[in-house]
Amino acid sequence: MIPPEIPHKLVLEIANTFGTPVYVYHAEAIQYQYKRLLMAFPNVKVKLHYALKALNNVNILRLLKAEGAGLDAVSIQEVQLGLRAGFKPSQIMYTPNCVDFEEIKQAAELGVHMNIDNISILEHFGNEFGSSLPCCIRLNPHIMAGGHTHTSVGHIDSKFGISIYQIRHVLRIITSLNIRVNGLHMHTGSDILDAGVFLQGADLLFDAARNFPDLEFMDFGSGFKVGYKPDDIVTDIEEIGKKISLAFLAFCKDYGRDLELWFEPGKFIVSGAGSLLVKANVVKQTTSTVFVGVDSGQNHLLRPMFYDAYHHIENISNPDGVRRLYSVVGYICETDTLGYDRNLPEVREGDILRIKNTGAYGFSMSNNYNARLRPPEVLVMDGVAHLIRKREIMEDLTRNEVWIDTIKQES
């Protein structure tokens, strides 16, 4: 059953209690999306490793751990966050990119699953560990997928993965250095709508897999599209799940044994469960536009400026007001527009606006530009709002500065 949205009354209470800006997450919506994705792949052994780069608050990780999720980590710090949240090393897949080999060694010492996406690192790995430590290999299928060049990561110009056309080289390395490969990985990008992209990549991965006799799993990444606009086109995960499952089962039969099918969803699980609440500081009319300036900006929600991403905006203080056209902008000294030409119920100074679908890559991409402080995070569970991260204070901004006494001051 689809969980209802957090009621407007409770959202306003959260804004009044914790102040704005504030990130709000819906626990039941996160749990629903996880279970929906897990059930979408019938008759196969599925493991979901949540991509914690999307949202890494310890309470979100604990919530998903209770559902049975593993983790996909892209840095040693994310690995450490996962261990801190109570995940076992065997539940964490470490998929770094362009890191120093010392970080690879640190992750190996912690005992997590290793995913290698670079031939030179693969050689380092083999020389260091030989067959004593298995690894997964990330392949680049050279498929353009997703809705933005920033979010398509499996094309020929991408920095991610080892080219599918370098398999011969990879095989020579693993044979020479006695590397034990237990998994193959592929991730083409985000906002994928139809099964064709996955199946196209799957066929390439299946062909490659026949060269690796000791596989235990295949990781298809993620990238399922979620809705950002009302009535937006989204991935039909149940339809895609059936098609991928059938193809995977056919491959396993041909391969000679059943493997596990892994995915690493992030946005699909948490995006729709999050909102950013902001306050209208000013309503400013110019010769061409009416701006609503809010107490947040690209420092808290980078996606609109970085990806040209759309986030639906609601006026929850005046939902029945006369509708007018506004551009919603932030308080950062940049052009940090959060929404162009939005038809909203009349916005008055002091109104609370709700920016939706900010559960993924919202807080986790936030920063302190203009010396602004990061907002708090609140998790609503069973109708109760829980503070899960405090609002930053000035001491957080200056904590790691070192004062040099020898700098001369004017008298």
CB 267 within 8 A of CB 330: no
Judge if 363 and 311 occupy the same domain. yes
Query: How far does CA 126 lie from the centroid of its chain?
Result: 30
DSSP class per residue in 94-115: E--SS--HHHHHHHHHHT-EEE
Is residue 39 one of the residues assigned to a domain? Answer: no
Judge if 166 and 229 occupy the same domain. yes
Judge if 383 and 258 occupy the same domain. no
Q: What is the pLDDT of residue 411?
A: 65
pLDDT tens sequence across 119-178 = 999 999 999 999 999 999 999 988 744 554 444 444 466 788 999 999 999 999 999 999
Q: What is the pLDDT of residue 192?
A: 65
Q: What is the pLDDT of residue 191?
A: 64
Of 196, 231, 265, the last residue of a domain is 265
Of 233, 248, 265, the last residue of a domain is 265
Report the CATH number that the domain containing residue 260 is assigned in CATH.
3.20.20.10
Q: What is the pLDDT of residue 196?
A: 73
Is residue 332 one of the residues assigned to a domain? Answer: yes
Is residue 283 one of the residues assigned to a domain? Answer: yes
Ranges in the chain, pLDDT < 50: 144-145, 148-155
**How far is residue 287's CA from residue 51's CA, in Å, rounded to a whole number?**
45
- Half-sphere exposure of residue 167: CA atoms within 13 angstroms, side-chain side: 15
Is residue 301 one of the residues assigned to a domain? Answer: yes
Judge if 260 and 283 occupy the same domain. no
**How far is residue 346's CA from residue 327's CA, in Å, rounded to a whole number?**
12
**How far is residue 10's CA from residue 176's CA, in Å, rounded to a whole number?**
62
**How far is residue 256's CA from residue 206's CA, in Å, rounded to a whole number?**
13
Is residue 402 one of the residues assigned to a domain? Answer: no
Query: Domain of 259?
Result: 95-265
Q: What is the pLDDT of residue 151?
A: 43
Judge if 200 and 302 occupy the same domain. no
Is residue 324 one of the residues assigned to a domain? Answer: yes
Q: Is residue 252 flagged as an active site residue?
A: no
Q: What is the pLDDT of residue 156?
A: 62
Judge if 372 and 230 occupy the same domain. no
Q: What is the pLDDT of residue 190?
A: 56
**How far is residue 224's CA from residue 190's CA, in Å, rounded to a whole number?**
6
Judge if 103 and 147 occupy the same domain. yes
The number of distinct structural domains making up the chain is: 2
Of 265, 289, 309, the last residue of a domain is 265
Helix (H, G, I), strand (E, B) or coil at 48: strand
Judge if 113 and 254 occupy the same domain. yes
Is residue 174 one of the residues assigned to a domain? Answer: yes
Burial class from Cβ neighbours inside 10 Å (0-12, 13-18, 19+) for residue 220 reads: buried
Q: What is the pLDDT of residue 193?
A: 61
Report the CATH number that the domain containing residue 348 is assigned in CATH.
2.40.37.10
